[in-house]
Chains A and B, each alone.
Chain A
């Protein structure tokens, strides 16, 4: 920014360093869109404190749905299933996806374009088609559906997303550091673990976070691969929304939204830190 950019300000009432943007139509419109994005969330929040069971009219303030929520064993076990799936799928995918991204950046081989194309497929093919194909595959191989099959299916999209995020970071990476390590006598494995991986860490983290959120939110792929009593949260919520919602779902929304806001804040903080580190080096 040029230092004198705000100097020839024609409006004398305007402060030299504006904290608030001027009320122009784009800013008004944007404010309206922010309201649009948060309106449903606020409505859920308000109704989560509504005493009425039918949630159409306001019957007074109550915390009963939060009490119901925290004593709802089924919902808590669904949350536990979801967390297990997401953590395991993301942890394995973090390794596989990172290795794949490094491999794709490092080697040239016949069929590489095809390999890369296949690695993009989970980002492109609609969930419903992946879900259906996975179910057909599992049934035809006579694999009993269970928590493990959900994890296996989630790994497909998790590793693809992690690989994409890591790949884009790899492209901007300085190859000299790793070469220097090799010149100083490190083995390729040492160079990778001690030099390359730390440089990729923020991207791996960002990819994992993205994969985690997608896994926690997935309804379709889980619906088609769940069995053996596994019942992840989106399936439970979907079933409750269809079979009649008690307002504890509203309370659950508020809790989940606060949890995700925390996660988003964490992600943003890590990104901010890694930007600072990158700038200072």
Chain B
């Protein structure tokens, strides 16, 4: 029996996800990043459609992918993968091809997302919001005003155990690559190793690898600097004057988070309803006013109050964006290197 199981097992482990037949309790299960939905958004949707919304949070694209592949993601009808993860999931056949006739409001999107490189013609994903990855700091306790990633290394003693970095392989190793003048998407083993060594030097001074959850400690002064997504950072800068967010001078990552329907989605109708709901300018702009993410929806952007439209953290000027770089899927060998160095640096 064990032998039979073993043969079976190897096939299932190397094939696509073991999905199918997850419980459909009538609710819309969403797997997303922190701070993209709140009770207000979910309640408005439920009021409109009668479908309850259940939101689960992931820390990184890779963890979301693992969940989906391991079969724990059967209940989800909506995922929020980032750009490069959309490409990866497409290759693994994990996403449903969208029926464009069931989607209304695509014309509201900003022109730059009409035909994105990661998913031509938005065939499997709908751009939801975009942003940068930079440094969020508390002016009261930080030993200075960071302008670049180097700030962390130069002040590592003063910042010891008062830094958090994203719990995200491509972002954190990528930022280190950038600080060395390399690309986020380097596939040069020597460059990736140099970044690993540099991150290893900072490692003893890092309090924790956290994608979210640093907010209270940063506000309380227990942390000085946190590497953060702009969408998470801006809410804090608006809430508290001591909080500042910067996009490092040598460049940051520029990302798009999307809405996608997994191949195993149990409640596809509700998923389309959710996508259409978020494409409505009124819904999107109301959500932005509460949650402060940079919407990819031009019609929603135009409805926003001027102070949010002009917020440079949220919508950075062109010259800042020009220095930034989108993370793209890298070849298998480089992925292995990223994996290996990430495991080692987090184990050190």
Contact = CB atoms under 8 A, between A and B. Distances in A.
Q: Do chains A and B touch in the complex (CB under 8 A)?
A: yes
Contact of B75 (A138, A139, A141, A229): A229
A124 interface: no
Interface string A133-145: 0011111111111
A136 B74 contact: no
A244 interface: yes
A227 B22 contact: yes
Contacts of A242: 59, 210, 212-213
A239 B211 CA distance: 12
Contacts of B27: 229
Contacts of B56: 231, 239
Contacts of B21: 144
Contact of B216 (A55, A135, A144): A55
A140 B12 contact: yes
B57 interface: yes
Interface string B3-36: 0010011101100001111110101010000100
Given A56-B222, A140-B5, A242-B210, A145 B216 contact: no
B220 A54 contact: yes
B12 A142 contact: yes
Interface in A203-258: 226-231, 239, 241-245
A244 B75 contact: no
A141 B213 contact: no
A136 B72 CA distance: 12
B332 to A, nearest CB: 22
Contact of B23 (A57, A146, A244): A146
Contact of A139 (B18, B57, B73, B215): B18
Contacts of A146: 22-23, 74
A147 interface: yes
Interface string B269-291: 00000000000000000000000
A146 B23 CA distance: 7
Interface string B38-59: 0000000000000000101101
Given A56-B222, A229-B23, A140 B8 contact: yes
Contacts of A226: 72
B170 to A, nearest CB: 20
Contacts of B215: 244
B210 to A, nearest CB: 7
A28 to B, nearest CB: 34
B71 A139 contact: yes
Chain B contact residues: over half helix, strand or loop, or mixed?
Answer: loop
Given A146-B22, A229-B54, A141 B216 contact: no
B98 interface: no
A117 to B, nearest CB: 18
Contact of B25 (A54, A55, A138, A229): A229
Given A139-B70, A140-B12, A145-B72, A243 B57 contact: yes
Contact of A141 (B8, B25, B29, B222): B8
A144 B13 CA distance: 13
A72 to B, nearest CB: 10
A151 to B, nearest CB: 13
Given A227-B22, A243-B34, A144 B219 contact: no
B235 to A, nearest CB: 11
Interface string B228-241: 00000000000000
Contacts of B75: 227-229
Contacts of A244: 34, 212-216
Contacts of B5: 137, 140-141
A141 B71 CA distance: 11
Contacts of B214: 244
A144 B213 contact: no
Given A143-B18, A242-B213, A227 B74 contact: yes
Contacts of B20: 144
Contacts of A145: 22, 70-72, 74
B19 A229 contact: no
A146 B71 CA distance: 9
B213 A243 contact: yes
Contacts of A243: 34, 57, 212-213
Interface string A116-152: 0000000000000000000111111111111100000
A52 B251 CA distance: 37
Nearest to A138: B71
Chain A CB within 10 Å, residue with most, of B22, B29, B57: B22
Given A139-B13, A142-B12, A144-B21, A54 B219 contact: yes
29 contacts: A53-B216, A54-B219, A55-B220, A136-B9, A136-B13, A139-B9, A139-B70, A140-B9, A140-B12, A141-B9, A141-B12, A142-B71, A144-B20, A144-B21, A144-B74, A145-B71, A145-B72, A146-B74, A228-B23, A228-B75, A229-B27, A229-B54, A229-B75, A231-B54, A243-B212, A244-B34, A244-B214, A244-B215, A245-B216
Interface of B: 5, 8-10, 12-13, 18-23, 25, 27, 29, 34, 54, 56-57, 59, 70-75, 210, 212-216, 219-222
Given A229-B22, A242-B210, A244-B214, 7 more contacts: A54-B216, A139-B9, A140-B8, A140-B13, A145-B72, A145-B74, A242-B59
